């Protein structure tokens, strides 16, 4: 397939930005013990912010709409977002509030365990966001962490005919379905799918049932097994790329960012999913947080090796 032409229309990413304190250990403990980390890094994180950085690395303009505190951590994040080419005019730093932080534990197999703190003290209102700007966007990506902003952005995208992706992780089930119905392409984690489908399985029967609740196309990410896509009443598996995993942290966020970038370029859903799967797989091999994003040409070449498979 011919490589789509990149556009100057940005992907607007709406949701969480965090400071990640990353600790690398040999293996995850199976009981309550004291463990010494081999390395410690302070990095940028958060679903929406990481997706925006991935878009920028893939040469797709990206803007972030997010909430930060008014502290040193916010300054740290803003500097790094600018350095990675992400527009941050939609990032609001608020009063005496604290920026969200998370502790990320990564073992030698690249598996990670994340503990984040409650962020309910950050202002919920999305009234300041320039929703009119969505009409000029190539795509919108929203996560579940700032649902007031995500609801508003998804509604604005639908009104403007702009494709939208929802990072449909586990949250309140009523809210999850409310957000998913607003997105043109909700993408569920396996746990999110189970929640939205009342315990259903992501097979043809379960996907057909959920599509009737949502009214359209959606995806389900399966980690190293790839992702499933319900498009025009057909279930398709897009595989992941076999890689030597260094760190899986942020791979899902890169997936969502690359998917939105693909849609902004005019790719059909399955082709955008191949592009996203390649980007996320390569991210697992590279590690290194926002500084380890795969380059566009490597992603394009890897995506060409991924053959979608119809699932009966």
Domains defined along the chain, listed by start: 11-29+36-311 (3.40.1190.20)
**Across 61-68, average pLDDT:** 98
Which carries the bigger pLDDT value, residue 122 or residue 270?
A: 270
pLDDT number for residue 6: 59
pLDDT number for residue 33: 85
Give me the residues paired with residue 245 across strands: none
In a 13 Å sphere around the CA of 170, the CA atoms on its Cβ side amount to 6
pLDDT-derived band at 2 (thresholds 50, 70, 90) equals low
pLDDT number for residue 312: 72
Q: Which residues contact residue 241 at a Cβ distance below 8 angstroms, ignoring those fewer than 6 apart? A: 277, 278, 281, 282, 302, 305, 306
Q: Contact, 208 vs 275, CB < 8 A?
A: no
The sheet carrying 112-116 orders its strands as 39-45, 18-24, 101-106, 112-116
pLDDT of residue 9 exceeding 80, the answer is yes
Gap between the Cα atoms of 185 and 187, Å rounded: 6
pLDDT of residue 36 exceeding 70, the answer is yes
pLDDT-derived band at 110 (thresholds 50, 70, 90) equals confident
Gap between the Cα atoms of 153 and 13, Å rounded: 9
The end-to-end CA distance of the chain, in Å, is 25
Q: Contact, 264 vs 4, CB < 8 A?
A: no
Task: Give kind and range of the element (H or E) at residue 188.
Answer: strand 185-188
Which carries the bigger pLDDT value, residue 120 or residue 46?
A: 46
pLDDT number for residue 94: 87
Q: Contact, 133 vs 108, CB < 8 A?
A: no
pLDDT number for residue 30: 87
Give the 3-state secondary structure percentages of the chain, helix then strand then coil, rounded to 5: 40, 25, 40
Which position has the token pair 């189970």? 194
Collapsing DSSP to helix, strand or coil, 196 comes out as: helix
pLDDT-derived band at 109 (thresholds 50, 70, 90) equals confident
pLDDT of residue 65 exceeding 90, the answer is yes
pLDDT of residue 5 exceeding 70, the answer is no
Which position has the token pair 């365990």? 113
Centre a 10 Å sphere on the Cβ of residue 9 and count the other Cβ atoms it contains.
Answer: 15
pLDDT-derived band at 113 (thresholds 50, 70, 90) equals confident
**Across 174-178, average pLDDT:** 97
Averaged pLDDT score across all residues of the chain: 94
pLDDT of residue 88 exceeding 90, the answer is yes
pLDDT of residue 95 exceeding 60, the answer is yes
Give me the residues paired with residue 115 across strands: 103
Helix axes 173-182, 147-160, angle to 10 degrees: 20
- Tens of pLDDT along 248-261? 999 999 999 999 99
CA distances from 185 to 160, 188, 194, 219, 256 (A): 15, 10, 17, 7, 10
Q: Contact, 254 vs 293, CB < 8 A?
A: yes
**Across 80-92, average pLDDT:** 97
pLDDT number for residue 3: 65
Q: Contact, 275 vs 262, CB < 8 A?
A: yes
């Amino acid at each position: 397939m011919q490589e789509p032409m990149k556009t100057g229309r940005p992907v607007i990413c709406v949701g969480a930005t965090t400071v990640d304190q990353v600790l690398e250990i040999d293996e995850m403990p199976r009981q309550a013990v004291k463990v010494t980390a081999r390395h410690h890094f302070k990095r940028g994180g958060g679903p929406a912010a990481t997706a925006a950085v991935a878009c920028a690395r893939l040469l797709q303009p990206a803007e972030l709409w997010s909430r930060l505190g008014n502290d040193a951590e916010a300054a740290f994040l803003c500097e790094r977002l600018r350095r990675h080419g992400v527009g941050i005019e939609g990032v609001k730093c608020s009063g005496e509030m604290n920026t969200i932080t998370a502790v990320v534990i990564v073992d030698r197999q690249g598996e990670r365990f994340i503990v984040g703190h409650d962020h309910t003290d950050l202002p919920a209102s999305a009234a300041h966001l320039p929703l009119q700007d969505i009409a000029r966007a190539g795509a919108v990506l929203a996560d579940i962490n700032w649902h007031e902003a995500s609801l508003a952005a998804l509604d604005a995208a639908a009104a403007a005919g702009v494709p939208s992706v929802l990072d449909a992780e586990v949250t309140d089930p009523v809210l999850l379905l409310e957000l998913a119905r607003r997105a043109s392409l909700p993408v569920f984690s396996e746990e999110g799918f189970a929640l939205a489908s009342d315990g259903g399985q992501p097979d043809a029967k379960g996907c057909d049932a959920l599509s009737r609740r949502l009214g359209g196309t959606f995806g389900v990410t399966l980690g190293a097994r790839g992702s499933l896509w319900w498009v025009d009443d057909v279930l398709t598996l897009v595989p992941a790329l076999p890689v030597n995993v260094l760190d899986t942290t942020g791979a899902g966020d890169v997936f969502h960012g690359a998917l939105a970038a693909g849609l902004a370029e005019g790719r059909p859903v399955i082709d955008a999913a191949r592009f996203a799967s390649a980007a996320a797989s390569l991210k697992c091999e590279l590690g290194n947080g926002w500084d380890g994003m795969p380059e566009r040409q490597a992603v394009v070449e890897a995506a060409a090796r991924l053959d979608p498979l119809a699932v009966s």
